[in-house]
Amino acid sequence: MWIPLKCLVLLWLINLVPPLLSHFFSDQWPRPVDGGRVFRDGRPLLGPNKTRRGVAGALVAGTGVSVLLGWPWFLGLSAAALSMIGDMASSFLKRRLNLPSGSNVPVLDQVFEGLLPMAVLSPHTGLGAGRTFLTLTFFVVGAYVGSHFLKQVLLQKPFDDYPRRIRPRVRLRELASCQIRSNPWPQLFHFEDVLMYRLVMNTVFRGLGIYEAGKANAVNVTKRHLTLELEDLPVAFDGYSLLFMSDLHLDGLDGLVERLVAMVREEEVDLCLLGGDYRMENFGPADEALRRLALLLNAVRARDGILAVLGNHDCPEMATALAETPVRFLINESAAVRREEETIWIAGVDDPHYFRCDDLDAAWSRIPAGAFVILLAHSPEIAEEAARRGARLYLCGHTHAGQIQVPFVGPVFTHSRSPRALCQGMWRRGSMTGYTSSGAGVSGSPVRFRTTGEVVILTLKRARKTAPDRLHKSLSGP
């Protein structure tokens, strides 16, 4: 039984390496095996997808995997060479049938890739005709399913305006968080969160009789006013006001959106910034969260509009769904805000925490050197890089200030790779000022203890001294 399985592992890995190399190194060593030549029918001999890079990678993979399986290195090398010859034979036939390069054709794409290497694997391993046929059948089915999944799911844009770079790791996480909607599959992908919050923490809080009090604390959101004095703030932006809200999780608590609407209606600001995490769960549908977010956005009074980023609970489809609302999502891009003859830039990055799709190079690509930049990110985890880029103000959330704190200890969890000093309130990194909001909503367990949700009003002031930036806090609320 083990010998057919080892043959399958070897062949599948040999055939997996070329498409992976093509994805990760698309601009490096792309020379096609056929050198761009055409056959007498006027069509390509093999096509651009059959590259020397892929063949070399398959040969190395076959040799290495064969040794790991306990077989001679030359057996794996021979199997890989024959598999690549079979792959090129399939491509030659597909070009003659006028099928596009890279198309996935059942059986034709797999049979030669498996049949030819089995000519050396079967005699060496002692597989008889029957087990060789079964092994080849399993290879064809598995290789087709794997190729389809790789090309049509992991390496394919899920929709036309998909804003992220296609990466298998990200697409796998998006499948668990965004595309799988029916129970119980989402819980299987997010088992740790389900176990910790739904079964353990909520049970403990109910057992202690404090669950309802924690929910009441969570809805008791405060409005916090901060004044920031920044030395190189352009003169025209002296007194510029920002409404900053993060970690709304609007479908997690009834009554939350109504409280937030009442708060923001009272404030007229220059610009509204949203720091991500609009739904409660990190899997399943976001329809109710988006409906409540639209209600909140309609209550915002911001002269220069609303800019937002995605968080670790958010899917890129959510930005598309809100295209008709006043919000503009900054997904590794920037927006210029002008007053008179002066400009500040708002750079927004994709989630740096779970999806890890942040790209400061892309976000800064349009920003002129020496510009005053406010970076909007979901979490504080890229603060060091942002400071080196020259960001003057870093606004983020994600941590909820721990959401649950204990005396003399502080946050139990911050769910962040950042130092704890960056996980709540105001902080500094070099010449950059940062603020990590405790968030408006709650995540996981719908409670707060010894923390308070917040909506933040930031007023930017131009410092009058040449000393390092001075910070003055004026707080309202508990």
Residue 69 CA: distances (Å) to CA of 5, 124, 126: 11, 13, 16
Q: What is the pTM of this model?
A: 0.79
Give the integer Cα–Cα distance in Å for 189 and 173. 9
pLDDT band per the 50, 70, 90 thresholds, residue 476: very low
Residue 359 reports pLDDT greater than 90: yes
Give the DSSP per-residue string, 320-385.
Answer: HHTTTSSEEE-SSEEEEEEETTEEEEEEE---SSSS----HHHHTTTPPTT-EEEEE-SSGGGHHH
Residues 6+ apart with CB under 8 A from 194: 187
Give the DSSP per-residue string, 136-190.
Answer: HHHHHHHHHHHHHHIIIIITS-SSTT--SPP-HHHHHHHIIIII--STTHHHHHT
Could you give the 3-state DSSP secondary structure of residue 134? helix
Give the integer Cα–Cα distance in Å for 283 and 296. 22
The pLDDT value recorded for residue 327 is: 95
The pLDDT value recorded for residue 150 is: 78
Q: Using one digit for the tens of pLDDT, what is the confidence trace for 306-325?
A: 999 999 999 999 998 898 88
pLDDT band per the 50, 70, 90 thresholds, residue 199: low
**Least confidently predicted of 8-12, 180-184, 258-262:** 180-184
The pLDDT value recorded for residue 467 is: 45
User: Among candidates 343, 375, 341, 340, which has minimal Cα distance to 359?
Assistant: 375
Q: Using one digit for the tens of pLDDT, what is the confidence trace for 29-80?
A: 889 999 989 998 989 999 888 899 999 999 999 999 999 999 999 999 999 9
Give the integer Cα–Cα distance in Å for 360 and 106. 41
Q: What is the CATH number of domain 200-473?
A: 3.60.21.10
Answer with the residue of higher pLDDT: 197 or 102: 102
Residue 471 reports pLDDT greater than 60: no
The pLDDT value recorded for residue 189 is: 52
Give the integer Cα–Cα distance in Å for 260 and 297. 10
Report phi then psi at 220, rounded to 5.
-80, 65
Give the integer Cα–Cα distance in Å for 267 and 455. 11
Percent with pLDDT over 70 in the chain = 92
Q: Using one digit for the tens of pLDDT, what is the confidence trace for 417-442?
A: 999 999 999 999 999 999 999 999 99
Domain ranges of the chain: 2-156, 200-473
Q: Using one digit for the tens of pLDDT, what is the confidence trace for 174-190?
A: 887 886 555 555 554 55
Q: What is the separation, in whole angstroms, between the first and last Cα of the chain?
A: 68
Q: What is the mean pLDDT of residues 104-112?
A: 86
Answer with the residue of higher pLDDT: 279 or 471: 279
Tally: H helices and E strands in the chain: 15, 17
Q: What is the mean pLDDT of residues 339-356?
A: 95
Give the integer Cα–Cα distance in Å for 428 and 422. 8
Give the integer Cα–Cα distance in Å for 86 and 445. 55
The pLDDT value recorded for residue 200 is: 66
The pLDDT value recorded for residue 465 is: 59
Q: What is the mean pLDDT of residues 253-280?
A: 96
Q: Using one digit for the tens of pLDDT, what is the confidence trace for 386-426?
A: 999 999 999 999 999 999 999 988 898 888 899 999 999 99
Residue 370, exposed/middle/buried by CB under 10 A (0-12, 13-18, 19+)?
exposed
Report phi then psi at 86, rounded to 5.
-65, -40
Q: Using one digit for the tens of pLDDT, what is the confidence trace for 132-141?
A: 999 999 999 9
Angle between helices 287-299 and 256-265 (to 10 degrees): 20
The answer to whether residues 179 and 158 touch, using CB atoms and an 8 Å cutoff, is yes
Residue 169 reports pLDDT greater than 70: yes
Average pLDDT in the chain: 89
The pLDDT value recorded for residue 184 is: 52
